Each structure stands twice: as structure tokens, then as C-alpha cells.
Structure 1
């Protein structure tokens, strides 16, 4: 109860707890034991040895996706739990020397280190099966001129 206002924060507290104990996929919390289908793969919501909600990839499947797949378009913190995979986008572009490597060439997995979640290339984009109604990532808007000595400008 917020003092003097007569308001309870129970709903907000329940949502925070759900996000802490469940696995996030595109910002939606899924309970421990839940299975989702994305990109032609099954993923199960579990917890790692430290209790961090984690998606564990299962086998390939021909089933249609059961969750939204916006792609690795932004920082996954607060949107995807570790283990979740998404097709790359221009957000995941990077440089090797003065050469641009397009993020759309790969599938990215959310990984956790030191309490932070970030995207890491995990597989070639050919490993991702796009549903017929799923949007494909736009080609990158960047070019090699955006690279300088390994830095993306």
C-alpha cells in the first residue's frame, strides 16, 4: 500500500517476480517448464545452477513459431533471457578491420555475463527457419565505409 494514496503495488510486484522467475522472450515472461517454438527450434524455460531463468534449445521442429521473433534489434536485457535466439539485424553488424560483417548473416543467442545480457553470434542464418508470416530482417543500412580499424562508426 502506498502511504496516503490507498494504492497497492501487488500487481507490479507480481510482474517483477514473474520476470525474475520466468524466462523472457520478446519481453513476455514464460513460466519454468514452458516450451516455445522459434525459428524451427524448440526452447524450454529452465534455470541455470545460479537460478537464472534460461532458455535451453531442444531439437529442430517443423512446427510454426509460438512466440514473436523481432530479431536481435536492440539490447536483449529485459527482453530476452539467456539462451533465447533471434535472427541478426543491422543492430548486430560489426567490423573486422575495415570490413563490415552484416548482422543478418547470423543467428544470435542471448548470453549472460556479470548480470548483463547481450547478443552473441551462435549459428549461420541458414539455421533459422522463418515462418511464412514472419518478417525477415531488413538488409543493413551500413557499408564498409562505416568501419575503421575494427570499430563500427
Structure 2
């Protein structure tokens, strides 16, 4: 597995994108206002910390059909380029302040998932409840991810 054949890993790329849509590395993006701002009828004073919920943006049914379901096939046919509004998918932030490591992190995730997935199988070992998220500086699960790993 090398960076040269990452584009050939279409399914792995879709799985990584879908995982980032459901469980972004950060749960909120914050900014500080420098002047009073009117945002869709909400008045924010100057020098106020404002948070954008990445989780809420990624669960917005205006942009995603069944947004809380794991559906990697939603990322086929250039979904983002053709039908997704700007800032509807922001796992690494957006605009000119997007994460500088975005491309590297995405490449790394695809390569690691493909490499590990060739050698091991992972099966869910937890109950059927939702994964509880603990929003801190980065998003993490409250109780880990109970998995069974077996060699392929």
C-alpha cells in the first residue's frame, strides 16, 4: 500500500469520509467576533466567542439523507462537489482557516485503514446502543469502542 494507489481505494475513501461526517475530529469550531454581527437575525456583540457545532452541521437533513446512518455510498458520484453546500461538511474546519493537516490526516486514515483491514477483521463487541461521544478539545468516545479483532 502506497500513496500512489490511494485513489484506487474508492471504498476506503468513502468509509473515511463517512466516518468523518459522523464523528468529526472536532465537535465545534469557535471564533471570536471583532465587531457586532447579525447572523440570520441573531445579534452577537463584539468580543464574543461564537461556536459552530460541526456535529449539527453534519446531521442537517437539508444536506444529508438519513445523516446519522453509516452510509459510505453517499460519497459516490462526486456528492460533495455536485450537491453539498459549502460548509455542510467541515470535519477539519473550513474556509481559509481549515486545518493545515487535513490532506495528510485524510491520506493517513485511508492508508492505515486499508493496511490494517487487509490483515485484520474487526467486529463490534458492544451492545446495540449508540456510541456515546464526549466532546473535549477533540471528539472521543466516553467508553471506548469494544471490538473483537481477528487475523484474516
**What range describes the TM-score normalised by the shorter chain of this pair?**
under 0.3
RCO higher in structure (CA 8 A, sep ≥6): 2
Higher strand share: 1
TM-score by length of 2: 0.23
